[in-house]
């Protein structure tokens, strides 16, 4: 079983080669999006299904401040409550990745709606899939995130070690 630090280190190692590969296949925007997607895998980790504070939550707390860190932890606590650690809903490549993106979309929409309601007294029109969301660049970002999750899955299953 790989530790959180090993997952982070391995994700950082593949980020640049993945970004350069995407750039070679597509264009600069695709390369940057893929690089960003892989790096996002550090904090959008499958291990957010762990009930205690994870490496992801620690990094957000340390580098983005205690308030964002607390919000990030609270955002993912229900996820860790409902999904057992290493369940297919969190750890299977593609399936787990898309599930976490959907969970994040719903969570961000609820936070946005709550902030708007507190600020204006009205609820905003919220859409989970706004127009123009699925672009070529977005797809490369998702490919990057899926790549990070595939590496995580492989490491959790002891096929390789870093
Ligand atoms: Zn894991």
Residue 153 CA to ligand 1 centre (angstroms): 7
Choice between 49 and 134, residue whose per-residue pLDDT is larger: 49
Q: Is residue 149, in this structure, part of any structural domain at all? A: yes
Residue 86 CA to ligand 1 centre (angstroms): 6
Give Cα separations from 116 to 121, 133, 159 (angstroms).
Answer: 7, 22, 47
Q: Is residue 26, in this structure, part of any structural domain at all? A: yes
Q: Is residue 48, in this structure, part of any structural domain at all? A: yes
Residue 40 CA to ligand 1 centre (angstroms): 15
Q: Is residue 130, in this structure, part of any structural domain at all? A: no
Residue 134 CA to ligand 1 centre (angstroms): 27
Determine the structural domain holding residue 88 and report its residue range: 4-122+137-158
pLDDT single digits (tens) 2-22: 788 888 999 999 999 999 999
Q: Is residue 99, in this structure, part of any structural domain at all? A: yes
Residue 68 CA to ligand 1 centre (angstroms): 23
Domain count, the chain: 1
User: What's the token pair of residue 14?
Assistant: 């593949």
pTM: 0.83
Residue 77 CA to ligand 1 centre (angstroms): 16
pLDDT of residue 159: 60
Q: Is residue 129, in this structure, part of any structural domain at all? A: no
Residue 35 CA to ligand 1 centre (angstroms): 21
For 135-141, which contacts have Cβ atoms below 8 Å and span 24 or more sequence positions? 136/26, 136/29, 136/30, 137/29, 137/30, 137/33, 138/33, 140/22, 140/26, 140/29, 140/30, 140/31, 140/33, 140/34, 140/37, 141/33, 141/34, 141/36, 141/37, 141/40
pLDDT single digits (tens) 62-110: 898 899 888 888 889 999 999 999 898 999 989 999 999 999 988 888 8
Choice between 112 and 67, residue whose per-residue pLDDT is larger: 67
User: What's the token pair of residue 68?
Assistant: 């964002």
Q: Is residue 8, in this structure, part of any structural domain at all? A: yes
Q: Is residue 147, in this structure, part of any structural domain at all? A: yes
Residue 99 CA to ligand 1 centre (angstroms): 15
């Amino acid at each position: 079983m790989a530790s959180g630090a090993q997952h982070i280190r391995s994700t950082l190692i593949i980020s640049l080669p993945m970004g350069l590969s995407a750039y070679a296949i597509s264009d600069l925007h695709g390369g940057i999006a893929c690089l960003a997607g892989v790096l996002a895998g550090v904090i959008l980790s499958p291990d957010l299904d762990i009930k205690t504070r994870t490496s992801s939550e620690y990094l957000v707390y340390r580098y983005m401040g205690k308030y964002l860190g607390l919000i990030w932890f609270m955002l993912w606590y229900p996820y860790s409550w409902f999904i057992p650690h290493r369940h297919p809903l969190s750890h299977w490549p593609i399936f787990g990745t898309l599930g976490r993106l959907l969970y994040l979309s719903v969570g961000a929409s609820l936070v946005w709606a709550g902030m708007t309601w507190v600020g204006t007294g009205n609820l905003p029109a919220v859409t989970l899939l706004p127009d123009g969301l699925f672009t070529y660049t977005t797809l490369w970002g998702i490919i990057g995130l899926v790549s990070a999750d595939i590496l995580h899955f492989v490491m959790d299953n002891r096929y390789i070690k870093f």
